């Protein structure tokens, strides 16, 4: 029971068992077969880096490729680190550059981020150990031993695809979303709409719990990985959108409706269930063809129905009400179709050729990197902190000539956190844990006397504890286990062991902690928390500017270039806000206690962006509503209301002392009347105007309704 509580998913247990098997093999091979005492450092720490810090996901082939690529990158960094160690200036400069680049690349997530700790570790050892050129081939060979042994171990011993955790959670959330659709629009018997909505909220919280705040979560640089990232965001948008369904939704037979409403709801339900099955089965290709056809048919039917009702003199308010009632379902269908397209990308299926497919969200490398090439970016800041910390540490090592200088750099890596409070706390815990571990390790060395075989027998136990203890127990216990492991490694590789090594270990960790504290004081001591309010507020401002500009393009001429610039700015700021929130969750500061509130705000920025993209599809030259002053006036009023509402929300977010409160809803917007509907073109324009005002109303009511999907109890 204790293991299950402290080691969710038994991640630490799996890593500990792997390392306990692989490390003695890699170390013994290097020491006795290759006869390379110094090289054993690369074999031992390389194995730790590859099996304890890296946990690649995917098929056996994908994991084989991942470990192989990491091995090649690590070999290159080993050579660079060794070459840089030959002079103080090159050691400091190259360490800063490598630390910055590796830390910054982590924002792409996926395989790139998972392998960073392993290759950074081998670089640190190389730049501190140095040595003559004759030693370099031995270093590379020892690293190769670590790569081969670790790869085989990872493929054979307790393989686990961590991506399945996210896919399983997504599958459950999509099935829950289909249940909400069935209860709202298909009159499907069950527990009722509200209870199903709460179940959806819990399912989406599970997705976020698997995904948010994970620095090395298994999504990242490949097209399929980026699609998985976007699908998680789309599911969160569904949470906000389907909250609308909790309001009174007319059943298909309760009002004079438009032909195709039920068919569209059925197609959405089927598409969501198909996508849910595809998340459980990577070989499945979900399809949105039926949903695309149903949406297009419903749009045509709506326009024909509006023209028929207007021609017969029906009550304008009744006409607008029926069109408005269908819009929440249409919004859900648009989002559902986007999610199916993303699901196809996740599973590697080709794009579908559909007639009315909405724009599918994209997250290209260029946009991600561009968004974070700013001092406002938390990723750029943490990269600069890492660069300064490790460069300062290598300068201290080079100037003082401390023994086992790589321990100083490892101390910086272990202690430096996102903010000063975390760094200070971890510095104290690291020193305490190290002292305890050194005391135990020194006692063990004294007790074994001349029996080196006992150290070899204890080595697997020590490396297991070093991998498992930080996860199952706590950081200081992990530091104690890691210090014990280091002393045993030195004992078996430098027999007879030096008792002074323990004191050197304590000295070096204190130097590393001091460097980390200095950097923590100098650079952004409050971490991501300090930037969270500002970045989310800026994202909301930019996203509403793009959404309202897209609305304006339906009424008046807006250049495509201006729309593209507004979209790019909104996408950059929404991306940066999401990453700031994610890093704030990693930081676990007091200002992010209410993660639901912050997640709602960041998702609101992305939903504003999505609405702008969808409405941007309707832009024409001349504008579709330009010839109807009444319709244009209704859209302009909605546009102004959205702008006022979200600018006020952004101001409140920026000025709040803690988590933002949900904003008060804006006034319900008046729907345009169909007085001027007299032909197919005017009916089309009228439907566009109603849908646009509906989008505006949905956005203004967004945050209060989102609370309806929050789990209770």
Per-residue pLDDT of 541-573, as tens digits, reads 999 999 999 999 999 999 989 999 999 999 999
- Mean pLDDT over each residue of the chain, to the nearest integer: 83
Using the predicted structure, report yes or no on whether residue 319 has a pLDDT greater than 70: yes
Quote the pLDDT of residue 627. Answer: 82
Q: Which of 243, 161, 175 has the alpha carbon at shortest distance from 206?
A: 175
**Alpha carbons 52 and 46: distance in angstroms, whole number:** 10
CB 33 within 8 Å of CB 105: no
pLDDT, residue 569, reads: 93
- Paired tokens of 316: 């304008």
CA 456 from chain center: how many Å? 41
Say which DSSP state 109 is in.
-
Tell me the average pLDDT across 305-330: 80
Label residue 110 by pLDDT band (50, 70, 90).
Answer: low
Average pLDDT over residues 81-105: 94
Residues making up the chain, counted from first to last? 713
Tens of pLDDT, residue by residue over 213-259, are 454 444 445 677 778 888 888 888 777 677 655 554 544 444 456 77
User: What does the block give as tokens for 614?
Assistant: 């969808």
Q: What is the 3-state secondary structure (H, E, C) of 147-212?
A: HHHHHHHHHHCCCCCCHHHHHHHHHHHHHHHHHHHHHHHCCCCCCCHHHHHHHHHHHHHHHHHHHC
Work out the average pLDDT over 294-320: 84
pLDDT band at 505, cuts 50/70/90? Answer: confident
At residue 373, φ and ψ (nearest 5 deg) are: -85, 60
CA-based radius of gyration for the chain: 29
| Domains in the chain: boundaries | 2-161+371-416+420-522, 163-346, 527-709
82 pLDDT higher than 60: yes
Are 699 and 611 within 8 A, CB to CB?
yes
Answer whether 295's CB lies under 8 Å from 354's CB. no
Residue 312 burial by Cβ neighbours in a 10 Å radius (0-12, 13-18, 19+) = exposed
Tens of pLDDT along 395-440? 999 998 888 888 899 899 889 888 888 889 899 999 999 999 999 9
Whether omega before 622 lies within 30 degrees of 0, making that bond cis, reads yes
More confident residue, 259 or 47: 47
Across 18-28, average pLDDT: 94
CATH class held by domain 163-346: mainly alpha
- Which token pair is 174? 């999509």
Could you give the C-alpha distances from 568 to 200, 215, 419, 602, 612, in angstroms and in order? 32, 25, 30, 17, 11
The DSSP string of 207-242 is HHHHHTT-TT-S--SSHHHHHHHHHHHHHHHHHHHH
Q: Extract the runs of DSSP E, i.e. beta strands, from 260-396.
A: none
Residue with the bigger pLDDT between 223 and 338: it is: 338
pLDDT of residue 256: 52
pLDDT band at 44, cuts 50/70/90? very high
Please name which of 590, 404, 567, 369 lies closest in space to residue 483, comparing C-alpha atoms.
404
Is 451's pLDDT higher than 80? no
pLDDT tens track for 579-619: 888 887 777 644 455 566 777 788 888 889 888 988 888 88
Question: Is pLDDT above 60 for 69?
Answer: yes
Which pLDDT value is given to residue 436? Answer: 94
Of 109 and 360, more confident = 360
Contact 49, 119 (CB under 8 A): yes
Chain position carrying tokens 């959806």: 200
**If you average pLDDT over residues 138-156, what whole number do you get?**
94
For residues 73-78, average pLDDT: 96
**pLDDT of 251:** 43
Two tokens at 551?
């609305």
Contact assessment for residue 561 and residue 569, using Cβ atoms and an 8 Å cutoff: no
Check: CB of residue 440 under 8 Å from CB of residue 491: no
Give the model's pLDDT for residue 713. 30
Do the beta carbons of residue 237 and residue 244 sit within 8 Å?
no
Cα 320 to chain center, whole Å? 41
What is the rounded average pLDDT of the residues 258-265?
A: 85
For the cut 80, the answer to whether the pLDDT of residue 2 exceeds it is: no
> Picking from 67-81, 280-294, 611-625, which range would have the lowest pLDDT averaged per residue?
611-625
Structure tokens that stand for 86 in this block: 């030959």
What share of the chain in percent tops pLDDT 70?
86
């Amino acid at each position: 029971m204790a293991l299950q509580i402290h080691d969710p998913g038994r991640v630490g247990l799996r890593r500990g068992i792997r390392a306990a098997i692989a490390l003695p093999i890699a170390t013994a091979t290097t020491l006795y077969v290759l006869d390379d005492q110094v090289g054993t450092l690369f074999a031992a720490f390389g194995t730790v880096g590859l099996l304890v810090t890296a946990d690649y996901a995917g098929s056996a082939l994908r994991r084989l490729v991942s470990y192989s690529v990491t091995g090649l990158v690590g070999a290159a960094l080993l050579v660079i680190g060794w070459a840089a160690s030959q002079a103080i200036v090159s050691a400091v400069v190259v360490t800063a550059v490598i630390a910055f680049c590796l830390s910054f690349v982590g924002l792409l997530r996926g395989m790139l981020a998972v392998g960073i700790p392993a290759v950074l570790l081998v670089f640190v050892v190389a730049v501190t150990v140095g040595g003559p050129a004759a030693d370099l081939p031995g270093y590379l060979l020892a690293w190769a031993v670590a790569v081969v042994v670790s790869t085989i171990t990872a493929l054979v011993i307790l393989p686990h695809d961590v991506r399945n955790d996210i896919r399983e959670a997504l599958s459950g959330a999509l099935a829950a979303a289909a249940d909400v659709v069935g209860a709202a629009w298909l009159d499907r018997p069950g527990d009722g709409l509200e209870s199903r909505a709460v179940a959806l909220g819990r399912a989406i919280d599970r997705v976020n719990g698997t995904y948010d705040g994970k620095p090395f979560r298994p999504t990242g640089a490949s097209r399929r990985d980026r699609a998985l990232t976007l699908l998680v965001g789309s599911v969160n948008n569904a949470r906000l959108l389907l909250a609308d369904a909790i309001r009174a939704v007319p059943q298909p037979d309760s009002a004079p409706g438009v032909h195709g409403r039920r068919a569209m709801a059925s197609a959405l339900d089927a598409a969501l269930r198909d996508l849910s099955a595809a998340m459980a089965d990577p070989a499945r290709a979900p399809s949105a063809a039926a949903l695309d056809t149903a949406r297009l048919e419903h749009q045509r039917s709506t326009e024909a129905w509006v023209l028929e009702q207007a021609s017969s003199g029906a009550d304008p308010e009744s006409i607008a009400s029926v069109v408005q009632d269908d819009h929440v379902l249409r919004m859900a269908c648009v989002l559902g179709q986007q999610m199916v397209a993303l699901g196809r990308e996740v599973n590697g299926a080709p794009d579908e050729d559909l007639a009315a497919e909405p724009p599918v969200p994209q997250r290209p490398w260029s946009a991600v990197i561009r968004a974070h090439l700013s001092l406002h970016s938390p990723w750029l800041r943490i990269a600069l902190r890492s660069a300064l910390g490790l460069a300062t540490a290598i300068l201290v090592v080079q100037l003082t000539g401390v023994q086992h200088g790589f321990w100083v750099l490892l101390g910086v890596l272990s202690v430096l956190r996102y903010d000063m409070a975390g760094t200070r706390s971890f510095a104290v815990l690291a020193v305490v844990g190290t002292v305890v571990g050194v005391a135990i390790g020194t006692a063990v060395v004294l007790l074994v006397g001349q029996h080196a075989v006992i150290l070899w027998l204890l080595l697997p136990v020590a490396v297991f504890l070093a991998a498992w203890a930080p996860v199952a127990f706590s950081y200081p216990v992990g530091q104690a286990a890691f210090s014990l492991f280091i002393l045993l490694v030195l004992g078996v590789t430098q027999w007879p062991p030096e008792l002074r090594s323990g004191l050197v270990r304590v000295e070096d960790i204190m130097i590393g902690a001091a460097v980390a504290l200095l950097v923590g004081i100098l650079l952004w001591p409050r971490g991501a928390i300090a930037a969270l309010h500002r970045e989310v507020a800026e994202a909301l401002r930019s996203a509403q500017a793009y959404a309202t500009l897209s609305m304006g393009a339906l009424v008046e001429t807006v250049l495509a270039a201006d729309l593209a610039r507004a979209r790019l700015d909104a996408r950059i700021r929404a991306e940066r806000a999401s990453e700031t929130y994610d890093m704030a969750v990693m930081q676990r500061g007091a200002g992010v206690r209410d993660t639901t509130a912050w997640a709602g705000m960041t998702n609101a920025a992305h939903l504003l962006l999505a609405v702008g993209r969808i409405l941007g599809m309707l832009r024409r030259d001349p504008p579709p509503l330009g010839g109807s002053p009444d319709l244009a006036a209704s859209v302009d009023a909605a546009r102004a209301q959205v702008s006022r509402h979200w600018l006020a929300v952004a101001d409140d977010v920026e000025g709040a002392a803690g988590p933002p409160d949900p904003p008060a809803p804006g006034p319900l917007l008046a729907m345009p009347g169909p007085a001027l509907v007299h032909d197919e073109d005017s009916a089309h324009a009228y439907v566009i105007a109603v849908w646009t005002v509906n989008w505006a109303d949905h956005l203004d009511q967004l945050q209060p309704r989102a609370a309806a999907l929050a789990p209770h109890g």
